[in-house]
Structure 1
Amino acid sequence: MRVEVLREFSCVGELEAPWRELWDHASSPSVFLHPLWAVSWWNHYGQAMEPCIVLVWDESGSLAGLAPLCWSQKAPGVMGWIGDTELSDTMDFLVRSGKEVQVMGAMDRALRKLLPGEFQLDLHCVPDGSPTLEELNEMLSQGWDVSIELEEFSPRVELPASWEEFLEGLSAHHRHEIRRKMRKADKDLATGFVVVEPGDGWDRAMEHFFRLHRLSQPQKAAFMDDRRESFFCQIAEVFGREGMVRLSELRSMEGPIASSLSFVQGRTWALYNSGFDPRYRQYSPGIVLVAHTIRQAISENLTLYDFLRGREIYKYDFGASDHLLYRLRLSPRPEGKS
């Protein structure tokens, strides 16, 4: 295994093809580890960062592992992920399936050389089942001081072959409530569900999304500043061209009353963000839209619906169970210390 460290983000353009190929064959890829995500995030938030992207190449010359890391001026002495926790729901090392042990061993040796003893690697939102977590015991024995803590929950639900089968898997109460809310919205508002296609009113639909996102909660209005809006537009555009975005609307006769932005990767639908018009709160437009997107995911033969981070009650009403995310802090142990 050959290790290389990129310290100029401008070099990522030349790396995009092997990064994409690695992502396609990784143990646990997510949209947040895709090169398009890293480039979009860096374009908006990389000004105060210094990249430190660790690459591991195998004997055939293929990229076998990648650590999307950077130094931040806001936290001197701390290296973290490219992608902050407010925008990237999960992060990890990107490792080729079947080469986890070799790649993590090479990463271990490279990172110990990169990090002086008083410096720290602070890794947020590492998912349960990650090769990173599985190799922790080995890293502990190789000279690291490691702290691991439960950081977040990412509820998800497995999808059956049909919508009716999905409903039958819920409790009687939740099944009744979902059906009731969908019928009420349809009867009183003549609602319709639409997945907007790129080039077919896309810009207008994005405007609806931002408006409804800001309207739905004061916290969301504060969150969606101009820079985040620009970031959302870029990821929607670039991943839309890849066929990985689902921009969904619940429409009444007066126009959209709820909107959501989701990603589809492999056989997973990931609900990234959403909003609704509070004037229609009595019709639970956000819940009705989620129900429609789950039904859409089933119609696309997807097998997992990931609500991503956060323990909002409605996620569990749809039968979700928690997937755990961890925060890891690693510091090279001074020589001679056991």
Structure 2
Amino acid sequence: MRTYEPGFGPVRLCKVQFFGTDPSLTEVRGLVCRAEHQSDALYALAKHFSENENNWDVFKWSGLRSDALSQLPHDKLRTERILPDYVVNLPDRWEALHATLSNNTRKSIRKGYEFLDRDGHRLALRVADSANIDAETLHRFFRLHQARSSAADMKQHRDNFHTAQSRGFLDDVIGKLASRGLVRVFELEVNGEVVASRIAFALGRDIYLYFSGFEPSWKKYGVMTTLVVEIIKWAIEQGFSALNLSTGKDQSKLRWMPTEIVLHDIVQSRESMRSQLVARSELWRRRGLKAVP
């Protein structure tokens, strides 16, 4: 995707980057290829754009694994962001994974189930796949996502779907991917009421956990932890080999003892004096915007 900043004027920055919506919706922009092919694909793209430097001033490389960075010219690069991604390699039994967890995590999991049972609540996992993801399923997800984001006594979470445009985007994406069997919506029911929801994308034997939401009034029961446990059990039963907990460092992910994959966002500037000056002015402009309260 090629954009110009500002949109008009004598000095404009021509920026090339991977397509996607804002970072909260498209969590990882970058090359769509198998991980083991990224270095070769990156080399081919870097070679192409180095031979066509007149068509751009700045190239934003996103979602690059550490072992692929050697394919870029190091003297023209600036690291914009380092983003960790967390993957749990799934064994063939839940008990095998459970045994690797810390005592505190195992205790937290046990208490969630025990407290629900103690208070007479019935627990069930509902899995909506391509055939039964309907408007009501997405409506529940949006409602629970918003409810979690607006909870005043918990760590602040952004409501990523507060606009009609963002909800429409997700609805469109899920509609297209669901037709290919790539989407699951996991819902935790307590006494027949959905109290937690999480969207996931499945590809081959990997499953990626996307955004979630839950009813804050059920916080004391740890329903989101219980939902993740139920998802892991389901994924193991279905033969998945890897569970991606999504990007961003968070204790709720680290408790599952995942493997960390580091993704880099790199800004590459052309060698020309104009491109260097325009790129630096853009960097200063963005820093100035961040400083404005």
* TM-score (normalizing by structure 2): 0.79
> Which of 54, 69, 79 is the matching residue for 2:16?
79
Look up the match of 1:107: 45
Change (3 A) 1:151 1:224: farther
- From 139, 144, 149, give the equivalent of 1:217: 149
The count of aligned residue pairs is 260
Deviation at residue 312 of structure 1 after TM alignment: 1.9
Q: Which amino acid aligns with 2:145?
A: H
The alignment's C-alpha RMSD in Å is 2.7
Aligned amino acid, residue 182 of structure 1: Y
Measured against aligned partners, the alpha-carbon deviations of 1:89-131 in whole angstroms (never above 9, x if no partner) come to 22323458887676544423321244349811122332344x4
User: Which amino acid in the other structure matches residue 184 of structure 1?
Assistant: F
2:172 paired with 1:234: yes
Moved more, 323-332 or 107-116: 107-116
- Of 71, 77, 91, 1:135 maps to 71
Residue 202 (structure 2) aligns with: 264
Query: 1-side partners of 2:33 and 2:209: how far apart?
Result: 24
Is residue 85–residue 124 contact of structure 1 (8 Å, CA) maintained in 2? no
> CA–CA distance in 1 between the matches of 2:107 and 2:259?
20
- Per-residue deviation, 1:186: 4.5
The CA distance in 2 between the partners of 1:126 and 1:152, in whole Å, is 10
Counterpart of 2:2 in structure 1 is 70
Q: Aligned-pair distance for 1:134? A: 4.0
Residue 180, structure 1, aligned to residue 106, structure 2: no
Aligned pairs for 1:148-159 (under 5 A) are 148=79, 150-159=81-90
Instruction: Structure 1: state its 5+ residue gaps.
Output: 1-68
Post-superposition Cα deviations, 1:211-265, rounded to whole Å, max 9, x if no partner, equal 0010011343365321111111111111111111110100112510000001111
CA contact (8 A) 1:150 1:324 kept: no
State the Cα distance separating 1:155 from its structure 2 match.
1.9
**What corresponds to 1:206 in structure 2?**
138
Contact 1:117 1:332 in 2 (8 A): no
Partner of 1:247: 185
2:213 match: 275
Aligned to 2:263, the other structure's residue is in SS state strand
| Secondary structure of 1:92's aligned partner | coil
Residues 257 and 149 from structure 1, CA distance in 2 versus in 1: closer, same or farther, beyond 3 angstroms?
same
Q: Which runs of 5+ in 2 are unaligned?
A: 8-12, 151-156, 274-293
Q: Tell which has more relative contact order, 1 or 2 (C-alpha 8 A, sep 6+).
A: 2
**Aligned residue among 195, 207, 213 for 2:127:** 195
Aligned-residue offset at 1:266: 2.1
Letter matched to residue 185 of structure 1: L
Amino acid at match of 1:206: L
